[in-house]
């Protein structure tokens, strides 16, 4: 739960930067290369966020194993 929220918040921040770079690159064409680089950061963070939400936590793995005897 909380780990997925942390990565999702980072992803949101990078997406906001991506949109800002898209608008700024109309005035400063050199920023277009940063827009492309940040696109890879968005892709990577989305992958990490998706994996952190889908991966079982250590607490749930212990609960699945059952009580120690």
Kindly state whether residue 69 falls inside one of the protein's structural domains: no
Please give the model's pTM, rounded to 2 decimal places: 0.69
Residue that wins the pLDDT comparison between 59 and 51: 51
Kindly state whether residue 15 falls inside one of the protein's structural domains: yes
Q: Structural domain of residue 50, as residue ranges?
A: 2-55
Kindly state whether residue 68 falls inside one of the protein's structural domains: no
- Would you mind telling me the total number of residues written for the chain in this entry? 69
DSSP state of 29: G
Kindly state whether residue 66 falls inside one of the protein's structural domains: no
Please count the other Cβ atoms lying within 10 Å of the Cβ belonging to residue 58: 8
Both structure tokens of 52: 């952190």
Q: Angle at the Cα of 18 (from 17 to 24), degrees rounded to 5?
A: 85
Kindly state whether residue 63 falls inside one of the protein's structural domains: no
Q: 15-29 pLDDT, tens per residue?
A: 999 999 999 999 998
Rounded Cα distance between 12 and 55, Å, is 21
Asked whether residue 69 carries a pLDDT value surpassing 60, the answer given is no
Looking at the structure of the chain, the number of domains it has is 1
Tell me what the mean pLDDT of segment 43-65 comes to.
74
Kindly state whether residue 24 falls inside one of the protein's structural domains: yes
């Amino acid at each position: 739960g909380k780990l997925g929220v942390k990565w999702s918040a980072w992803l949101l921040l990078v997406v906001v930067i991506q949109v800002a770079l898209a608008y700024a690159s109309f005035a400063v064409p050199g920023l277009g290369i940063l827009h492309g680089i940040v696109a890879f950061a968005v892709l990577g963070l989305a992958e990490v966020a998706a994996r952190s939400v889908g991966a079982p936590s250590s607490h749930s793995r212990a609960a699945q194993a059952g009580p120690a005897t």
